[in-house]
């Protein structure tokens, strides 16, 4: 049996591969982990990848399965010439889901407790209470109520927020009211105070937050994006900020990453920039499921969390 497994994580060094191998070996040892440029990589049938180029994928002629080193898979499957015979799997990690929930909660509290206002008062040595936003009066829309979105919605509900969720199909969850389809999207677009994108990037979600969307939001809304940068038409978000449709935008993802130094987001006082860190992969918590998936693939079985290439998630 060929037990060569390829590893590639864009932007990381070889030490990161060593750390992954150490954690994987705690669950499964019957494989050899090599870098994508290693001479033995061409013999691999399984690859662990994060943001590889299509050229690097296509040179691995024997690959039958790819495991994304993250919950997103668009960085792998959205190439027009991605080999459709390859099975793709994603990580579903409770640690990552909670990390995302923490980041979203932080972002919402930043908005409703007027963190920026108090920081500015500190600079001017002003000791004065600012206007309070009644959190019970706010309506929160979460676009994307999959594994992560559901955890975020449940945590927000437990904190006393009024939470609604939007997805392709209707969901049944006691913690949030489910909206779905085009009409559900429009309803949340017009009636929510805080908009949170946790959507996967698909052909349907690309550019979904555009001028039409921002034209319909309530005045002085809050927009939070931890989904994918290509879901937002950035020029339209800038327009929404200038027209006071959006009071504050808290962003963790962008059309081009890293965000170019000459991008207008940097200088916009209504936009808060995070460098794609809202829910990073933790190899110590995710390795066990990845190792189990490798083992099942080597046994000619199908692991959990297989991607539907037609849906994109």
Residue (of 144, 184, 176) closest to 279 by Cα position? 144
Residue 125: predicted pLDDT: 98
Place of tokens 């990381």: 12
User: Do the Cβ atoms of 68 and 50 come closer than 8 Å?
Assistant: yes
How far is 161 from 194, CA to CA, in rounded Å? 11
**Do 110 and 192 fall into the same domain?**
yes
Residue 71: predicted pLDDT: 87
Q: Is residue 39 domain-resident? A: yes
How far is 88 from 47, CA to CA, in rounded Å? 10
Residue 276: predicted pLDDT: 96
Walk across the sheet containing 46-50 and list its strands. 32-35, 4-9, 46-50, 65-68, 87-89
Print pLDDT tens along the chain (313 aa).
469 999 999 999 999 999 999 999 999 999 999 999 999 999 999 999 999 999 999 999 999 999 999 889 999 999 999 999 999 999 999 999 999 999 999 999 999 999 999 999 999 999 999 998 999 999 999 999 999 999 999 999 999 999 999 999 999 999 999 999 999 999 999 999 999 999 999 999 999 999 999 999 999 999 999 999 999 999 999 999 999 999 999 999 999 999 999 999 999 999 999 999 999 999 999 999 999 999 999 999 999 999 999 888 8
Residue 243 CB coordination number (10 Å): 11
Instruction: Read off the tokens for 127.
Output: 């000791």
pTM, to two decimals: 0.94
Q: Is residue 313 domain-resident? A: no
**Do 209 and 187 fall into the same domain?**
yes
Residue 239: predicted pLDDT: 98
Residue 2: predicted pLDDT: 64
**Do 154 and 231 fall into the same domain?**
yes
**Do 169 and 240 fall into the same domain?**
yes
Task: Indicate the angle between helix axes 115-123 and 94-112, nearest 10 degrees.
Answer: 60
**Do 17 and 103 fall into the same domain?**
no
**Do 26 and 166 fall into the same domain?**
no
Q: Is residue 12 domain-resident? A: yes
User: Do the Cβ atoms of 176 and 163 come closer than 8 Å?
Assistant: yes
Residue 1: predicted pLDDT: 47
Residue 81 structural domain = 4-93+281-298
Instruction: Tell me the CATH number at 89.
Output: 3.40.50.720
Instruction: Read off the tokens for 171.
Output: 């969901």
The total number of residues shown for the chain amounts to 313
Q: Is residue 307 domain-resident? A: no
Count how many Cα atoms sit within 13 Å of the Cα of residue 109 in the half-sphere of its side chain: 9
**Do 222 and 149 fall into the same domain?**
yes
- Full DSSP string of 180-219: EHHHHHHHHHHH-SEEEE-----TTTTT-BSHHHHHHSPT
Alpha helices in 221-269 (DSSP H): 234-242
Own/partner pairs, 105-113, CB within 8 angstroms, 24+ separation: 105/155, 105/156, 105/159, 107/224, 107/250, 107/272, 108/140, 108/156, 108/161, 108/194, 108/222, 108/224, 110/248, 110/250, 110/272, 111/194, 111/222, 111/247, 111/248, 111/250, 112/138
What are the DSSP E strand ranges found in 221-310?
221-225, 246-251, 271-273
**Do 246 and 107 fall into the same domain?**
yes
Residue 311: predicted pLDDT: 87
Instruction: Read off the tokens for 133.
Output: 């936003």
């Amino acid at each position: 049996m060929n037990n060569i497994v390829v590893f590639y994580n864009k932007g990381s060094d070889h030490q990161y591969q060593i750390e992954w191998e150490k954690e994987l070996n705690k669950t499964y040892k019957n494989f050899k982990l090599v870098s994508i440029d290693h001479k033995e990589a061409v013999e691999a049938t399984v690859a662990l990848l994060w943001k590889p180029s299509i050229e690097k994928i296509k040179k691995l002629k024997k690959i039958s399965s790819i495991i994304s080193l993250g919950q997103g898979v668009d960085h792998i499957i959205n190439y027009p010439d991605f080999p459709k015979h390859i099975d793709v799997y994603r990580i579903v990690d409770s640690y990552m889901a909670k990390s995302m929930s923490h980041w979203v909660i932080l972002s919402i509290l930043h908005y409703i407790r007027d963190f920026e206002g108090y920081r500015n008062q500190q600079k001017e040595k002003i000791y004065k209470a600012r206007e309070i936003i009644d959190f019970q009066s706010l309506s929160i829309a979460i676009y994307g109520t999959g594994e992560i979105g559901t955890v975020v919605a449940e945590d927000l509900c437990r904190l006393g927020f009024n939470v609604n969720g939007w997805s392709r199909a209707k969901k049944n969850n006691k913690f949030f009211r489910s909206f779905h389809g085009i009409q559900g999207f429009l309803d949340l677009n017009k009636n929510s105070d805080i908009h949170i994108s946790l959507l996967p990037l698909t052909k349907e979600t690309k550019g979904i937050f555009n001028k039409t969307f921002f034209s319909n939001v309530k005045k002085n809304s809050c927009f939070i994006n931890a989904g994918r940068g290509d879901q937002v038409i950035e020029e339209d978000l800038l327009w929404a900020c200038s027209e006071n449709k959006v009071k504050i935008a808290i962003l963790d993802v962008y059309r081009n990453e890293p965000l170019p130094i000459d991008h207008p987001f940097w200088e916009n006082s209504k936009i808060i920039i995070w460098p794609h860190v809202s829910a990073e992969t933790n190899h110590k918590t995710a390795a066990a499921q990845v190792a189990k998936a490798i083992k099942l693939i080597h046994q000619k079985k199908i692991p959990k969390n297989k991607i539907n290439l037609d849906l994109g998630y």
